[in-house]
Homo-oligomer: A and B are copies of this chain.
């Protein structure tokens, strides 16, 4: 094992926040300070937090996390959103140089970045710059994304809590829709991956009514055809007098064109992505199409409503217990590995206990290489779908153990 170099550690949070990203933040702090900052044998002198990720680091906006009490840390860990502030900056090579120089200037030898695949790419570039300069810098990425689209990981911290919110929302909204029947579209986050939209299926209580929603699930991985969609809605509506629909904001046609982007006249962000969240346009447009096209024999326009579940999906303060625990452990694990030797990397969650068929759910953490996760995207396994408009038992088995117990509702 190489000699550990003495210096400061810095932690940042990046990208869309989640309900448990602060668990990972606190996990890193706890892992680094298990024996006290500057304690004999601990190479970490101070633990600093970046305000708004690398944006704050390059501007010298750092906050000292070394002296927080366990009580303070626990309160922060339980709070949704990024307690240090987050950033949408996606650094290029020149920006990463500035990050690297800020590390040198602040005697930073341990660099932790909690985020999605863009954040792991930042880690990777900063790591390479440090290696090229012969500057000792341990770089660790801690995974975070409600989209669940990081490779290698069984799932990513943040996803189970968002999935819990989505499933709870669909379960409650299904009763609302049954009480005043109509067509109800709920638009779910997920620009490229349909995991979160698919999680709506967990709203169906296996002991509940077999006619419970969601009745149709539309994910980006299945090419969206408007005519087929209208036909399927009509089929369900004719049968049940209502239809609850889960639509991913990222649905696209067979040519990969985003349906939302085609309907929304919004600005593109710094990455060239059109704004899909924070707008109700996709749901509203789909609702308008259904109103126009679905006039049953009576000639009466069906009642069609659309909700876009919005930012509450990633910040609702009722996290999945599994998620809160794993997010904390992922942070601690990154700190532990960084303090064990000259390793860099990302943390991956591996499932070691299925969580179904009588086997309890268990997970372990592993170190993976930054280039295994950096700027890569995972999509839904086709075996997670059952036809084009529903998920399979395999998906329910996969996702169910992650989200915790949902409220059960009595019926008449």
Contact = CB atoms under 8 A, between A and B. Distances in A.
Interface of A: 13, 16-17, 49, 52, 63, 65, 68, 72-88, 168-169, 171-173, 175-176, 178-181, 184, 267, 275, 277-281, 283-284, 287, 291, 301, 304-312, 314-318, 407-412
A200 B308 CA distance: 19
Given A169-B312, A172-B315, A409 B78 contact: yes
A172 B411 contact: no
Contacts of A79: 175, 409-411
Give the top 5 A-B pairs by smallest Cβ distance, nearest first.
A280-B280, A75-B410, A278-B305, A307-B310, A81-B175
B305 A412 contact: no
Given A83-B411, A179-B81, A317-B172, A308 B311 contact: no
Contacts of A13: 179
A308 B310 CA distance: 8
A335 B198 CA distance: 44
A292 B86 CA distance: 25
A285 to B, nearest CB: 10
A175 B81 CA distance: 6
A409 B21 CA distance: 13
A16 B284 CA distance: 20
A72 B412 CA distance: 9
A81 B181 CA distance: 12
Contact of A308 (B287, B308, B409): B308
B267 A407 contact: no
B175 A80 contact: yes
A87 B180 CA distance: 6
A411 B308 contact: no
B176 A17 contact: yes
B77 A172 contact: no
Nearest to A19: B172
A77 to B, nearest CB: 7
Contact of A279 (B77, B267, B305): B305
A309 B173 CA distance: 13
Contacts of A88: 180
B312 A82 contact: no
Contacts of A283: 280
Nearest to A73: B410
A287 B314 CA distance: 21
Nearest to A21: B179
A287 B266 CA distance: 10
Nearest to A282: B280
Contacts of A178: 81, 85
B176 A314 contact: yes
A410 B78 contact: yes
A407 B188 CA distance: 24
14 contacts: A17-B179, A73-B410, A75-B409, A75-B410, A76-B411, A80-B172, A81-B172, A278-B304, A278-B305, A279-B306, A280-B284, A307-B311, A317-B407, A318-B318
A168 B317 CA distance: 8
Nearest to A267: B301
A79 to B, nearest CB: 4
Contacts of A311: 173, 176, 184, 305, 307
B284 A267 contact: no
